[in-house]
Amino acid sequence: MDKKGVDFFGKLAYNTFRALFQRFQPVKYGKRNLKRFRFFLFVFKEVIKVQKKIERISINAILIALSVVFERFLSVRIPFFGVETLRIGIGALPIFIAGFLFEPTDALIVGALADIVGYLISPMGAYMPQFTLTSALTGWIPAITFKYVFKRKLSFIPLLVSIGIGQFVTDIVMVPYFIHTLFGVPYAVLMPGRLIGYPIMLFVYPFLALEVMKRMPQRKKCTDMSE
């Protein structure tokens, strides 16, 4: 472990482990202290695991906050018949990054919580759990594809295909279906804007995700947290 690269908890665990190792060397002190040594080694490993979980939760919380800001306050909303039929923005980008950095379940949770928190902060009409589901799947589907099909290969094409599949299922199929079913908005109104915006965002999202992740110095460390 690189002593200079760990944070406060890592330094505390490192120094504790080193002190205990010097005090309870199994060869020098025999079987009794060997058991103590193994116990403290177990404690040390658990401290590192807790540290990784805290960092992972913190990063996901930041991504949720960014998604809410991008989606609710920095997006263009286009209503029709009193219903929001189209939203133009990059609110899904932090959700994608959560899945690409960690696991598909992280993207699922970040997507769902971003929609719920966003609704509580800036509601538009009644709460619809169907759209929480689509927000969760927005990150989960690309993350599944990126992990199992492309083996986490960080390049433009894997990101484009992964995001493209997810956006097609959620933005082109699920969201229009739910809006049409719940509010009766005709597909002739719902689909043209989405069909025009889909190919544009299909290139914008992978480009932004790739540029952000390439510039993250802790990207490899984040990936290790999910293991």
Q: Would you say residue 51 lies in a domain?
A: no
How much is the pTM?
A: 0.76
Q: Would you say residue 196 lies in a domain?
A: yes
Q: What is the domain range of residue 121?
A: 70-225
Q: Which two tokens stand for residue 211?
A: 């540029």
Q: At 101, which CATH number? A: 1.10.1760.20
On whether the CB atoms of residues 64 and 117 are closer than 8 A, the answer is: yes
**Structural domain count of the chain:** 1
Place of tokens 């990150």: 139
Q: What is the pLDDT along the chain (227 residues), one digit of tens a residue?
A: 444 444 555 666 666 656 655 555 554 545 556 666 666 666 666 666 666 788 889 999 999 999 999 988 888 777 666 656 667 889 999 999 999 999 999 999 999 999 999 999 988 778 899 999 999 999 999 999 999 999 999 999 999 999 999 999 999 999 999 989 988 888 888 888 888 889 999 999 999 999 999 887 666 655 555 55
Q: Would you say residue 170 lies in a domain?
A: yes
Q: Would you say residue 47 lies in a domain?
A: no
Taking the C-alpha atoms of residue 194 and residue 211, their distance in angstroms, rounded to an integer, is 25
Buried b (16+ CB within 10 A) or exposed e, 192-207: eebeebeeebbeebbe
